[in-house]
Amino acid sequence: MNHVVLVGRLAEDPQVKKCENGKNYTSINIAVNRPFKNSNGTYDTDFIRCVLWNGIAANTSEYCHIGDVVGIKGRLQNRTYEDENNEKKYITEVIAERVSFISSSHKEPSNA
């Protein structure tokens, strides 16, 4: 079974892009703290690449910003590509099937 659940903060603002086939997507990094301290007594953070497609990409880009806490449910995917030096590169990323907007770090403007 290939199932991933993450909760973390957006490390960047999501921006929707368009593939050659016309589908919309966004690629984001989620900062996820490890649940234990390292040898220096601090918590390390992992930055996990996630790919969001079509409506999920558009909604996340519209409603979420850097620093917001999101939940991601999806699956792991491995892929390869060749860089400009014809070297083979390997990437592991999460393909998001669902994104939950948990909290925003941005305050709504007040009408005072």
What domains does the chain contain, in order, with CATH numbers?
A: 4-103 (2.40.50.140)
pLDDT at site 103? 86
pLDDT at site 109? 53
In the chain, what is the straight-line distance between the N-terminal and C-terminal CA atoms, in Å?
52
pLDDT at site 108? 57
Q: What angle do CA 53, 9, 7 make, to 5 degrees?
A: 75
> Which residue positions in the chain have pLDDT lower than 70?
105-112
pLDDT at site 104? 77
This model's pTM is above 0.75: yes
pLDDT at site 89? 94
